[in-house]
């Protein structure tokens, strides 16, 4: 229904445009408005942004994603020991579970962990802070080129966008990419002096440490945008050089990392570490299915496969706004053509190049919402373009879309904060029980072996996180249970993450009671026959010999 309404309004808008012979003089107006009113509106929007990013941040997603836990434990190790979980000093690129993880989020989280301790808030706060910074950067950029009032419009679009809300509150390394892209573009466009271009280059260089797929997006975007800015005389060669120098310097460690993992160089494991990954994921790039990958564009506009990225009934940018985004792409293309013909800079061109860079990525690999998150910055700008043109050409349509935005945004926030956790109590790769469960197990006899069959990905990392075990202690007692692609389990200390072939006396067993495998059911039956007591904790059962339970579980 949302899409149908959006399409109808856009068709009406296009038909109205065709009847216009001249562009209204208001289209290029940059009204500044009353300064005091602007301050009040700005404060209200900032407070609203902070509220929607922090409210219930520790409760929603109903637990922590496995990558959040892995990054959080690495941040704890870095903050307190100066090494990652595998005892490597300050890695340029984290190993995580073998396939790698970009390092910027880990180091920002390490600062938060040092201040707040290892908890959900500390893990998610870096994403919140950078997302709020990107919102302010978006306002600053648009108000410079379109005026203060339109800066507030773009700011509000970012604040209420479902994708932006959800990614801001979720501690994945990749989610920093969109924020850093927005900040970097702002610094680039407003640069006039040489040191400002250096600052923009530093920002783009740091962006490379947000997510590995930025290695494709940024070079394509910078090639397009730098060539364009030189052509329209927005920048000079020396300006581009000033920007390029810090980008190249900051890229060198990552280039070294790529060469190490391709087998051309040896890894470095010293004061900083440039490591060879056990499972270097070059296979994700697929040049054989370029045309097939185009179909992903509609998927990322709707919701994708993970409900922690977007809610199906609202989509990533709201379903009704999809036609606005598509119309905005057309407007941006037209603006860019005119800009090139007249050799006059247009902001639309920069966001069009960002969109094209993401489309290149989409053609080369299978993507989802979190992988291609920087495309939404461009899509929000395209929606902004459509709204601005609606306002000047077809005010009734603008009012209609504004009311629709207001109503649907209220529905989204009401659903997200009040109903979402009830409809999605269990989300793939997210777990809320194992961390508190692990802390309860610490109350049990510490001389007993604990066998855990948790039916989740990487159960060992949740236990390390919960008990905040030193990485030195972990590695001293570490041993591999199994290695099976994604499910590589490490036993350590008294903790085993596979059930033994038969019940071992003087042991404690933690088993997922939703397990359907016959072998596990038989094992539970054997425990019951041996008169083991059981305490139920969420979807897990803790089995113990009756005379050896230390403290009653709460």
* Local structure of residue 32 (DSSP, 8 states): -
* Local structure of residue 430 (DSSP, 8 states): E
CA distance 386 to 151: 14
Contacts of 407 (CB under 8 A, 6+ apart): none
pLDDT of residue 237: 95
Using one digit for the tens of pLDDT, what is the confidence trace for 301-322? 777 667 888 888 999 999 999 9
Contact of 188 with 221, CB cutoff 8 Å: no
Nearest to 427 by CA among 537, 510, 521, 311: 311
CA distance 274 to 261: 10
Element (H, E) at 462: helix 459-467
CA atoms within 13 A on the CB side of 47: 6
pLDDT of residue 99: 85
pLDDT of residue 130: 96
* Residue 417 buriedness (CB in 10 A; 0-12 / 13-18 / 19+): middle
Contact of 110 with 118, CB cutoff 8 Å: no
Bigger pLDDT: 150 or 285? Answer: 150
CA distance 376 to 355: 8
- Helices 176-190 and 347-364, packing angle to 10 deg: 150
C-alpha Rg value of the chain to the nearest Å: 26
Mean pLDDT (the chain, rounded): 87
The percentage of residues in the chain with a pLDDT greater than 70, rounded to a whole number, is 88
Instruction: Read off the pLDDT band of 486 (50, 70, 90).
Output: very low
**Direct distance between the N- and C-terminal alpha carbons of the chain, in angstroms, rounded to an integer:** 48
CA dihedral 343, 348, 350, 353 (to 10 degrees): -100
* Residue 144 buriedness (CB in 10 A; 0-12 / 13-18 / 19+): middle
Which runs of consecutive H residues, i.e. helices, occur in 232-321? 237-261, 290-293, 296-302
CA distance 174 to 252: 20
pLDDT of residue 281: 67
pLDDT surpasses 80 at 96: yes
Using one digit for the tens of pLDDT, what is the confidence trace for 165-188? 999 998 999 999 999 999 999 999
Using one digit for the tens of pLDDT, what is the confidence trace for 99-124? 899 999 999 999 999 999 999 999 99
pLDDT surpasses 70 at 42: yes
Work out the average pLDDT over 477-496: 71
Quick one: tokens of 145?
């080129």
Contact of 370 with 175, CB cutoff 8 Å: yes
Of the given ranges (6-15, 350-359, 370-379), which has the lowest mean pLDDT? Answer: 6-15
pLDDT of residue 457: 85
């Amino acid at each position: 229904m949302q899409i149908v309404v959006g399409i109808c309004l856009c068709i009406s808008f296009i038909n109205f445009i065709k009847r216009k012979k001249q562009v209204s003089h208001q289209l290029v107006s940059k009204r500044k408005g009353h300064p005091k009113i602007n301050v009040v509106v700005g404060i209200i929007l900032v407070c609203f942004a902070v509220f929607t990013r922090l409210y219930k941040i520790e409760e929603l997603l109903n637990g922590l994603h496995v990558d959040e836990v892995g990054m959080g434990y690495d941040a704890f190790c870095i903050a307190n020991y100066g090494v990652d979980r595998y005892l490597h000093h300050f890695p340029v690129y984290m190993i995580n579970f073998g396939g790698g993880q970009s390092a910027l989020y880990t180091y920002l989280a390490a600062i938060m962990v040092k201040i707040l301790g290892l908890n959900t808030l500390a893990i998610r706060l870096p994403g919140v802070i950078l997302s709020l910074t990107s919102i302010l950067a978006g306002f600053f950029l648009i108000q410079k080129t379109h005026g203060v009032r339109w800066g507030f419009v773009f700011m509000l679009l970012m604040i209420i966008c479902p994708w932006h809300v959800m990614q801001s509150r979720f501690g994945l390394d990749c989610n920093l990419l969109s924020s850093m892209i927005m900040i970097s573009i702002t610094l680039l466009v407003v640069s006039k002096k040489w040191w400002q271009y250096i600052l923009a280059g530093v920002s783009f260089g740091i962006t490379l440490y947000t997510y590995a797929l930025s290695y494709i997006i940024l070079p394509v975007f910078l090639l397009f945008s730098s060539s364009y800015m030189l052509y329209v005389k927005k920048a000079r060669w020396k300006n581009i050089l000033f920007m390029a120098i810090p980008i190249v310097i900051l890229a060198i460690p990552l280039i070294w990392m790529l060469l190490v993992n391709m087998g051309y160089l040896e890894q470095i494991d010293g004061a900083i570490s440039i490591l060879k990954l056990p499972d270097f994921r070059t296979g994700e790039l697929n040049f054989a299915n370029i045309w097939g990958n185009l179909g992903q564009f509609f998927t990322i506009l709707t919701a994708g496969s993970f409900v922690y990225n977007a809610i199906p009934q609202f989509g990533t940018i709201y379903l009704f706004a999809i036609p606005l985004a598509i119309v905005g792409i057309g407007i941006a293309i037209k603006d860019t053509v005119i800009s090139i013909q007249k050799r006059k800079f247009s902001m639309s061109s920069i966001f069009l190049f960002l969109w094209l860079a993401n489309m290149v990525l989409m053609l080369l690999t299978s993507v989802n919402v979190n992988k291609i998150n920087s495309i939404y910055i461009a899509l929000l700008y395209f929606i902004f373009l459509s709204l601005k043109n609606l306002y000047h050409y077809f005010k009734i349509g603008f009012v209609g879309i504004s009311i629709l935005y207001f109503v649907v945004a209220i529905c989204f926030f009401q659903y997200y904060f009040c109903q979402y956790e009830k409809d999605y109590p269990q989300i793939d790769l997210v777990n809320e029980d194992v961390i508190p469960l692990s802390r309860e197990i610490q109350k049990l006899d510490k001389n007993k072996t604990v066998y855990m069959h948790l039916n989740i990905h990487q159960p060992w990392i949740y236990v390390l996180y919960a008990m905040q075990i030193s990485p030195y202690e972990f590695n001293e007692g570490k041993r591999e249970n199994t290695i099976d692609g994604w499910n590589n389990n490490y036993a350590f200390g008294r903790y085993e993450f596979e059930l033994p072939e038969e019940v071992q006396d003087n042991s404690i067993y933690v088993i997922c009671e939703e397990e359907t495998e016959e072998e596990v059911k038989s094992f539970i039956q054997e425990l019951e026959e041996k008169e083991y007591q059981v305490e139920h904790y969420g979807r897990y059962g803790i089995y113990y010999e009756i005379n050896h339970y230390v403290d009653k579980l709460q």
